[in-house]
Structure 1
Amino acid sequence: MLAGAALTGAVPAGAASGERVAPGVAYTEFDVAAAKGTAHAHVLTVDLTDPRVRVDLLHPGAVGARATVSSMSDTAGAVGGINGDFFNITESQHPGVEVTGASVGPAIAAGHTLKAAVPNGQRFGPALPPGTSTRDVLGVGVDRRARLDTLDLDGSIRTPDDRLPLGGLNQYALPVGSVGAFTSDWGSVSRVRATCGTDTQRAAPCSTDTYEVTVRRGRVASSADTPGSGPIAAGSTVLVGREAGAQWLRKLSQGDPVAVHHRLVAARSPVPYRFAIGGYPVLRDGAPLPGLDATTSAVRTAAGSGRNGHELILLALDGAPAYRTGMSMTEVAATMRSLGSDDAFSLDGGGSSTLVARAPGAPSVSVRNHPSDPPERAVANGIGVFSATK
């Protein structure tokens, strides 16, 4: 362990070596002298140029579900990982509405789009820095390079007589007046939460004007006045509408042909993403984003890219009582820069902050930091690191 690492200086002495977890993957831990006390950082450094290494989304098998980082890592065969995006963790403002556990931002796993982003006003987590949104992602493309980007939903619902833009994909919150699509990736949890709140107020009441249509093999199979729950069959799509979107869906009758199309469109990179996860940028091109919180200290999780996208740096702070004061977001950005990140991205922190890694020869991962919500919080998703053993 190393004490007093400078926030704006070089990589803390010894932090670049540490423990070899697997080919192309190293783990280290060190102390950082932060403004409100000593923080303790746990870091995985991933060499994306190593052909034995890959990075992908850890998820519990459904968008509307949660699991611990260690269990998701072991199930997927990862050698290490950290927790991911902020997520729908409570519904105290909407009594009786089921908590979905779904993440805030877009998610891509193994090249497959799982979901799009909720409206900015519906996110859980700290205030976003100016100029960022729930659509921001950290991703790794099919070119094996990590980068920051923004992923927008491009989708439509078509009938022989009409066309409507799609307002959401497997989201726990839909824009007011829209129609969202839910697929088998969503899981079994209730879809009612998607019609609660507004684009600017997460705590606003649930809509009283809703409608749901199930499309199977390209035709309307059933409908309901309120969103339902339960698994969605592969090949089927459930359309949930609120306000004007509900009124549009009510025009459909059983047997009517309906075509639903959706994709995520990247704002910056033409390279398709194999993996992407939501959060928000804190460092871009080596400079901290303007307007970052410099006063609120907490346990944090972050990910960064260095060496022109060929290196991925995953950081989780320790939540043990001795270190629980944590860091501010400006300190996180400076620390990620000192570790070699050109771009860095904030993920969910506090009781969610978890970093796991497999010890050499061990059959499963172990939690390397001390979560502040012990023993380990179930989360929506995470970043998994995979490496061949030889």
Structure 2
Amino acid sequence: MAAEQGAVAAVNGDFFDIDESQHPGVQATGATSGPAVRAGRPLKGAVPDGQRFGWPLPQGGSTEDVFGVGVDGLARTGRLTLRGHIRTAHATLPLRGLNQYALPVGSIGVFTPRWGEVSRARAACGTDDNRAAPCTRDTYEVTVQHGIVRSASSTPGAGRISEGSLVLLGREAGAEALHGLTPGMAVRVDYRLASSSRTAFAFALGAHPIVEHGRSFPGLDRVVAEPRSAVGIARGGHVMRLLSTDGREGTSSGLTVSELAGLLAAMGCETGAYLDGGGSATLATRDHAGHLVVRNALDHGEERKVPNGIAVYAR
């Protein structure tokens, strides 16, 4: 991914839906748990906390937590919350999902062409507190093309969503509400990712803060050591540090989250956040000859396909 886009350095990003063995017959989507913004535009929202993959959240953490770069060019952490509505001539319905592999119970989500071709069935599985809970059959899906309802289905679909089209998927109460949208009806779908920061994000992805004001968060795990990836911020957002550590393949015992936070602080980071790790941990940079080289010891010696990451480019 970094080589294809000409990056000079890159690290893997957010945790993602990697395995659906708890839901037989349901395809893993590969979609990330947290929000994502690219070129200032929202790509996806955060799944409910209980639907997240990966290690337990830090104390007070949320799937809405992100690392990113603001429109002012400064790196920062923050929180991105989906705000949206579906409007018809007769009703206004709340929107609780954007290109997410899991929707809150009783809600409606929207899927755009950015979702890709993978099935949307996983969005109706699990609950807000239990990722492994069964899938609900109480679903309803509506396809909207250029603002007009074109079709509906009682089961989540799959396949490419054409440009100018949206798919609205509801579960439980959300499914019942979507029954009111009939073919030929005009529909307007509006959404945004509301930022906890006063400055909008130009780029953001899911990441979990573990260092603030140069100090580790309290209560971080001190037991489980794994390969880790993280991002740090220094000099008020003018400096970004990318980090990936070994932890398998006999090269290292790995780091606990507490140790990772301590390392970021020792590197002079005022703020630090951890990314997906384990077999996903990958850091690559260009060598003196301009070749992209992986700098950490990969799990089983192979790169894992990941859905997003942080890349650095030379102007």
Scaled by the length of structure 1, what TM-score is found? 0.79
Q: Following TM superposition, by how much is the alpha carbon of 1:351 offset from its aligned partner in structure 2, in angstroms?
A: 0.5
Q: Does 1:306 align with 2:247?
A: no
* Cα distance between partner residues in 1 of 2:158 and 2:303: 28
User: 3-state DSSP class of the match of 2:258?
Assistant: helix
Partner in structure 1 of residue 220 of structure 2? 292
Q: Aligned runs of 1:49-128 on 2, under 5 Å? A: 72-128=1-57
User: 3-state DSSP class of the match of 1:221?
Assistant: strand
What residue identity is the alignment partner of 2:305? A
What residue identity is the alignment partner of 2:304? R
Partner in structure 2 of residue 257 of structure 1? 186
Which of the residues 155, 176, 180 maps onto 1:247?
Answer: 176
User: 3-state DSSP class of the match of 2:46?
Assistant: coil
What residue identity is the alignment partner of 1:379? V
User: 3-state DSSP class of the match of 1:282?
Assistant: strand
In structure 2, the CA distance between the partners of 1:350 and 1:324, relative to structure 1 (3 Å rule), is farther
User: 3-state DSSP class of the match of 2:301?
Assistant: coil
Q: Is the CA contact 2:251–2:297 (under 8 Å) kept in the aligned structure 1?
A: no
* Cα distance between partner residues in 2 of 1:320 and 1:90: 21
* Cα distance between partner residues in 2 of 1:298 and 1:177: 36
Which of the residues 331, 350, 365 maps onto 2:292?
Answer: 365
Partner in structure 2 of residue 183 of structure 1? 112
In structure 2, the CA distance between the partners of 1:373 and 1:319, relative to structure 1 (3 Å rule), is farther
* Cα distance between partner residues in 2 of 1:238 and 1:280: 30
Partner in structure 2 of residue 65 of structure 1? none
Which of the residues 211, 214, 227 maps onto 1:283?
Answer: 211
Q: Following TM superposition, by how much is the alpha carbon of 1:325 offset from its aligned partner in structure 2, in angstroms?
A: 1.6
* Cα distance between partner residues in 2 of 1:342 and 1:279: 15
Q: Does 1:325 align with 2:259?
A: no
What residue identity is the alignment partner of 1:211? Y
Q: Which has the higher contact order (CA 8 A, sep 6+)?
A: 1
Q: Does 1:383 align with 2:299?
A: no
User: 3-state DSSP class of the match of 2:86?
Assistant: strand
Q: Does 1:337 align with 2:265?
A: yes
Q: Does 1:273 align with 2:201?
A: yes
* Cα distance between partner residues in 2 of 1:119 and 1:281: 18
Size of the alignment, in residue pairs? 315
What residue identity is the alignment partner of 1:289? F
Q: Following TM superposition, by how much is the alpha carbon of 1:320 offset from its aligned partner in structure 2, in angstroms?
A: 4.9
Which of the residues 144, 149, 165 maps onto 2:94?
Answer: 165
What residue identity is the alignment partner of 1:241? G
User: 3-state DSSP class of the match of 1:144?
Assistant: coil
Q: Following TM superposition, by how much is the alpha carbon of 1:284 offset from its aligned partner in structure 2, in angstroms?
A: 1.1
Q: Does 1:212 align with 2:141?
A: yes
User: 3-state DSSP class of the match of 2:4?
Assistant: helix
What residue identity is the alignment partner of 2:293? S
Structure 2: any 5+ residue segments left out of the alignment? Answer: none
Q: Following TM superposition, by how much is the alpha carbon of 1:73 offset from its aligned partner in structure 2, in angstroms?
A: 0.5
Q: Does 1:194 align with 2:123?
A: yes
Q: Is the CA contact 1:319–1:369 (under 8 Å) kept in the aligned structure 2?
A: no
Structure 1: any 5+ residue segments left out of the alignment? Answer: 1-71
* Cα distance between partner residues in 1 of 2:81 and 2:88: 23
User: 3-state DSSP class of the match of 1:334?
Assistant: helix
Q: Following TM superposition, by how much is the alpha carbon of 1:103 offset from its aligned partner in structure 2, in angstroms?
A: 0.3
Q: Is the CA contact 2:89–2:186 (under 8 Å) kept in the aligned structure 1?
A: yes
Q: Is the CA contact 1:324–1:372 (under 8 Å) kept in the aligned structure 2?
A: no
